[in-house]
Structure 1
């Protein structure tokens, strides 16, 4: 029995603790092994790569000169990555995503893989890149490669350390560290690349450019390995969701192989019997005692808990200063088309130039504690035009505005600013096209003039417009109550990614009396306009709830 069969069978049999996602991976690989199609498993090819790493690669830290001893879980997944090939012995998998807790040997394992791909993959002039958002991070993986080469008499005989790379004269290939500088990444001819800590990448330039740079190679390999992180709605979340969709059968990509080591539920974080789900090297590579210390510190110091949840157990979280935790704000429920409402309460947040413009329509019905939310956002067309003219892949705020516009979640306004009438037109659209009438609309009076207010009142009644002044006096209690509703998963916002992005970005300011109000982070690119619009609507809903709810 191969290591792959042994390990993945043990996951399914419960002999090794595994999360639901890894059990899905096990079922996929064992089925492919038993029922080969275009690709079959070749144990000799798999062994060639694993044996090379075991024979020639040394541990980069700790006991100098010690051979790199791959653990069962590492051998099993490397057999899967390298062993499935077609009739021309070209491997099936060209992209791998590994998500596991920190200190499970990721950097050491990828260093060995990079050397193997340089020397032992039969590729002419292979270009191997170690990539990260910052050069310092890319250098960590690259330094591990350098140390492995220096410790091995065999490797150091055939590989040469140059100023910027490690060079193999025999096949004209190299291993090089690169950071996310788009000008230097264009035109690469990539045979293999490792992206270390994918969760730290704020935009997808790095991933997209490397992926596109593999088109001329016969069996390229993009190796992304990461813990979870605090950056939400970035390339990591997109790749993680894509991996889940493949495992669930919602997406098809026979070239993509994920290994997702996570807890099944956040409540498992303090249960030692569940820790191995996110830490496959626990007890062999990663110290169990050290993890116990981290968990205990998180129990004693709640501000440390998000770090442990993210980095040790791969549970998505927001930043430490965020208003809501990820598990509080994340809600994938849908309602539009399933529930019909006749009346809503609106809210909007207007911007002059830089910020987004956001509007909300919130709905409730008798006997149902949930609050149902519809959203719309606007951005000046000039923002997208400027990006197109400059050929800039990195969109403003590192947010996929073009995609959101394409999906109908956001609209553009001509010129370089959005006129405030967009809000009036949207609420009229809800009324005239969807039969959803705004009984009341909350707004920040700072940005709205009397002319627009008269037009709103002419359309929706003389008492429809309710000013919601921004500050703790007005927003503190509604913000606390809204947080409680999020914690109860009673805010159903159609899993809108812009809503989610704004909620993730929202931080809270507390005064000496315990009053709170939403604030932006120091990073101006993190927009919170959707949260502010929701608070405007929610504040009015609290005040008018008894009168409103009986209308539906």
Structure 2
């Protein structure tokens, strides 16, 4: 009996050993596979025969353009084999969800078309009436995946009378049927009326970076809750909306791969460049363009990417190229106050106890957030460390506010990043804000230097602060370029120079992404593009920084040499 080739484990081994260059995330994914192969406590095992069955099926599919059988690259075998090879003792797929991301023109649409056809023709759970969904944010994008799938099945139908006899295509409704068990592939777009009521056993969301909310994802997932063997695959290049649901998934897979969270049912394949500098070195491009593994298309792919890099370098810059050609997340607006990647790299933990602290208050009463930020001084390293907390008004209803802002305040309250008002009127409860400040100061034994506030809506707070007998200096931060421009500029420079650190805080991150720099007569002010966008936490931070930046650091003691 010939030896069975384990394509999945071979690819994982080659990546981990460095024989195939891969992104840091995919190295961790491959290491996870190898570790799990020897994990006796895991409730799943890897079935090589199941993995090879889907791989062999995909390699029999014809390329719609040439008509020749597709030869899969190693990474494609790894993805397909992992999705179907890892199973429970009952034979159900381990991975009920997958995140697949790579640069454009790397065969992702062809791969999902093949997986959809495999599920239509070879699937067995449920036995009858399997519904395979090809979904996207727009009808046009969903149509692209469907047309690729249709082209493949039409090529098969020409060559196989058996497949032709059991399949049927309905162009008008974007459906492909398996007539023997009444299963079908259906293309759907991000419209509630188009999705609700369907129970997709196997669903794919294509180009998820374009989604503005999680409606499509949640509707598809909700329809799978009663199924034994569901799968939902998110597949996309990176994008520019750092507040969108795809980027939220990107942050979550980071947690999983770094072992800060555990989810045994989530498969991850994320091909990306690890640094911007790698964009100039073609020998690293396989990290984000895994199709470069195939020698017969390597030269063409590199030549085309090189042309785009040169054009970007000479004219518009590498921003769009980093996103599409190298699968790196970048902010959409060139007007952004802070580059979010600069901000994110400064996320760290810091012992705030006993620190000298400046407090910033950005107040609201009804619609915006009220935010309180603390700038703690690290006098040893002469750095600033930011913590923050927000308070959420609910006038007009919390649910509608969540939907309008695209922010799940209830979840963020559970995670400790915000407090939802307890007043029936829905306005901010000043006592909740001041109670939080008092508790935070006391618990951490903070040496408060000043409370810096925006005079808007402060009147109720000032009276309550005086009633509490606080002895902290209260400093009004006047709104305008004369007061704020220089601190705004300096704060940005110190973030770039890694002198301003901050704790993890989802709402503060959102504010940084939303903050736009408005330049007028050499002065810089912060604003937002849309009313619903929240920048209050970063504004509270800036108010504190106006005064914190004037702090005179203790001079470091220099030990003089002893002269004999």
TM-score, normalised to structure 1, is 0.88
Q: 1:508 corresponds to which residue?
A: 517
CA distance in 2, matches of 1:247, 1:33: 17
In 2, Cα distance between equivalents of 1:365 and 1:29: 42
> Could you tell me which residue of structure 2 aligns to residue 534 of structure 1?
541
Residue in structure 2 matching 1:479, options 460, 464, 488 = 488
2:19 to 15, 36, 39: 15
More divergent stretch after superposition (226-235 vs 151-160):
151-160
Equivalent in the alignment of 2:147 = 143
Partners of 1:294 and 1:311 lie apart in 2 by: 11
2:49 to 40, 44, 53: 44
Q: Tell me the distance in 2 between the aligned counterparts of 1:91 and 1:374.
A: 42
1:406 maps onto 2:414 in alignment: yes
* Post-superposition offset of 1:280: 0.3
Supply the distance in 2 between the matched residues of 1:32 and 1:411 (Cα, whole angstroms). Answer: 40
1:323: Cα distance to partner? 1.7
Q: Tell me which residue corresponds to 1:53.
A: 58
The reply to whether residue 288 of structure 1 matches residue 293 of structure 2 is no
Which residue of structure 2 lines up, in the alignment, with residue 371 of structure 1? 384
Q: CA deviation at 1:289?
A: 1.3
Structure 1 residue 127 displacement after superposition: 0.4
2:113 is aligned to: 111
What is the RMSD of the two structures over their aligned residues, measured on CA atoms? 2.9
Matches within 5 A, 1:433-448: 433-448=443-458
Change (3 A) 1:312 1:214: same
Question: 1:85 maps to which residue?
Answer: 87
Gaps of 5+ in 1: none
CA 1:537/1:99 → structure 2, altered by over 3 Å: closer, same or farther?
A: same
Cα distance, 1:218–1:493 mapped onto 2, change above 3 Å: same
Question: Is 2:245 aligned against 1:232?
Answer: no
- In structure 2, what is the equivalent of residue 362 of structure 1? 375
Distance of 1:468 and 1:97 partners within structure 2: 45
Identify if the C-alpha distance between structure 1 residues 279 and 446 changes in structure 2 by more than 3 Å, giving closer, same or farther.
same
Q: What SS class does the counterpart of residue 395 from structure 1 fall into? A: helix
Change (3 A) 1:68 1:464: same
User: Which of 186, 201, 205 lines up with 2:215 in the alignment?
Assistant: 205
Do the aligned residues in 2 keep the contact of 1:111 with 1:145 (CA within 8 Å)?
A: yes
- TM-score under structure 2 normalisation? 0.86
Separation (CA, whole Å) in 1 of partners of 2:472 and 2:244: 42
Aligned partner of 1:325 in structure 2 is 339
Distance 1:542 1:333 in 2: 20
Which runs of structure 2 are paired with 1:250-261 in the superposition (5 Å)? 250-261=260-271
Determine which of 362, 366, 369 is the counterpart of 1:353.
366
Q: Distance in 2 between matches of 1:280 and 1:24?
A: 16
2:170 equivalent to 1:170: no
Q: How many residues end up aligned between the 2 structures?
A: 536
Q: What secondary structure, in the 3-state scheme, does the structure 1 residue paired with 2:330 have?
A: coil
Tell me the residue number matched to 1:72: 74
| Deviation of 1:404 (Å) | 1.1
Q: How far apart are the structure 2 equivalents of 1:185 and 1:409?
A: 33
Q: Is the contact between residue 365 and residue 393 of structure 2 (CA under 8 Å) also seen in structure 1?
A: no
Q: What whole-Å deviation, never above 9, does each CA across 1:220-265 have from its counterpart, x for those lacking one?
A: 2222112222222543334334333333344333322211212233
Describe the shift of the 1:410–1:189 C-alpha distance in structure 2 as closer, same or farther (beyond 3 A).
same
Residues 124-135 of structure 1 correspond to what in structure 2 (within 5 A)? 124-135=128-139
Q: SS at 1:531's partner residue? A: helix
Q: CA deviation at 1:130?
A: 1.2
Contact kept? 2:355, 2:377, Cα under 8 Å: no
* Structure-1 separation of matches of 2:419 and 2:481: 31
The separation in 2 between residues aligned to 1:404 and 1:474, in whole angstroms, is 32
Number of the residue aligned with 1:262 = 272
* Cα displacement (A) at 1:277: 1.0
Q: Does the C-alpha gap of structure 1 residues 110 and 455 become closer, same or farther in structure 2, counting only changes over 3 Å?
A: same
* Separation in structure 1 between the aligned mates of residue 555 and residue 396 of structure 2, nearest angstrom: 40
